[in-house]
């Protein structure tokens, strides 16, 4: 840990959260774990960023929250977030923006050799 962790780019956390929620409703801990696992622990989600981000997204009505019993053990209630249709549209927008940016960065970093 430590050295090979990458700082998340400004604004990308929102996109990652939205993307995670496409798979279905999840609570904060699950979202964090999911991002961490899928990136092989490369991206660590700081809780100090996660919860403000979740509340921000909720305020923008891109996600909605509800206290529900956990699906695994029905003993405990978690605050589950799920994607709204506005959130879905936002995700599409962010995705295409992200693609544009990565390809733009790629062109600067690894220019195609001219024949």
Which residues of this protein are in contact with other proteins, per CB under 8 A? Answer: 27-30, 33, 46-49, 51-53, 55-56, 59, 76-79
Q: How far apart are the C-alpha atoms of 54 and 68, rounded to whole Å?
A: 17
Q: Which helix (H) or strand (E) segment is 65 a member of? A: strand 63-69
CB-based contact 54:115 (threshold 8 Å)? no
Alpha-carbon radius of gyration of the chain? 17
CB-based contact 63:84 (threshold 8 Å)? yes
Other Cβ atoms closer than 10 A to 49: 12
Between 11 and 52, whose beta carbon lies closer to other proteins?
52
Q: From the CB of 48, what's the least distance to other proteins, in Å?
A: 5
Between 33 and 107, whose beta carbon lies closer to other proteins?
33
Q: From the CB of 33, what's the least distance to other proteins, in Å?
A: 8
Q: From the CB of 15, what's the least distance to other proteins, in Å?
A: 17
Between 77 and 95, whose beta carbon lies closer to other proteins?
77
Between 65 and 88, whose beta carbon lies closer to other proteins?
65
Beta bridge partners of residue 34, listed in sequence order:
none
């Amino acid at each position: 840990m430590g050295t090979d962790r990458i700082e998340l780019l400004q604004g990308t956390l929102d996109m990652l959260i939205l993307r995670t929620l496409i798979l279905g409703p999840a609570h904060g801990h699950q979202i964090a774990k999911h991002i961490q696992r899928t990136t092989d622990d490369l991206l660590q989600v700081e809780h100090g960023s996660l919860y403000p981000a979740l509340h921000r997204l909720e305020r923008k009505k891109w996600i909605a929250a509800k206290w529900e019993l956990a699906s695994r053990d029905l003993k405990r209630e978690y605050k589950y977030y799920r994607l709204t249709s506005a959130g879905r549209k936002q995700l599409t927008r962010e995705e295409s923006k992200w693609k544009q940016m990565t390809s733009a960065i790629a062109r600067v970093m690894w220019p195609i050799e001219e024949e």
